[in-house]
A and B are shown apart, each in its own frame.
Chain A
Amino acid sequence: QSVLTQPPSTSGTPGQRVAISCSGSSSNLGSNTVNWYQQLPGTAPKLLIYTNNQRPSGVPDRFSGSKSGTSASLAISGLQSEDEADYYCATWDDSLNGVVFGGGTKLTVL
């Protein structure tokens, strides 16, 4: 059972917009910023969004992030087949004194 809660799976068709939620508590998302990772099949995770809504260089602006209170969301607009991957949220937990990840959401592009 992960400290951060994500839906196990979601899907969309090319061109569509999808959103992935990440729910936590006051000790993690409620007091720290959230980061999102994309993991393509057979590869290492890649930083997709950092500090709630910032994109690293090279990440398309189709990807956006937001956070409010103890919840965060990753939105992907103009869905493409290459977006099919696992997505993880992550933050620091002040009570556990460590990094916590969501359980991951598998995105399928239909």
Chain B
Amino acid sequence: EVQLVESGGGLVKPGGSLRLSCAASGFSFSSYSVNWVRQTPGKGLEWVSCISSGSGYKYYAASVKGRFTISRDDAKKSLYLQMNSLRAEDTALYYCARVRDGYNYAMSDYWGQGTLVTVSS
């Protein structure tokens, strides 16, 4: 069974840092591209970042570029999101999601349950 489990969320002050993790199981993690997508409570979905299999391609939303860094460790079957210079508007539930086919990053077929990040003083 494919599973994605996010962790690392919590309460952080503006300007602070946080590192999110996503542990994958039930599939060949190294063969798939992966996304981070966030959702402010009661609002819509916002794509944050994606990384290709092999880490050759990394893309970021304009709202997080230069502050967030996506990475992966295929040996540990894990995805990461290093978030620096956090702002109140980064407060959201952060999902990791597996990309179904190759580099079609908008097609995520499995999602975790999310980890909540709250940026507040």
Residues of A at under 8 Å CB distance from B?
2, 32-35, 37, 39, 44-47, 50-51, 56, 86, 88, 90-92, 96-104
Contact = CB atoms under 8 A, between A and B. Distances in A.
Interface residues of B, number: 25
Contact of B114 (A44, A47, A90, A102): A44
B95 A44 contact: yes
22 contacts: A32-B106, A33-B106, A37-B45, A39-B45, A44-B112, A44-B114, A45-B95, A45-B111, A47-B108, A50-B100, A50-B101, A50-B109, A90-B45, A91-B106, A92-B104, A97-B59, A98-B47, A99-B47, A99-B105, A99-B106, A102-B44, A103-B44
A46 B104 contact: no
B86 interface: no
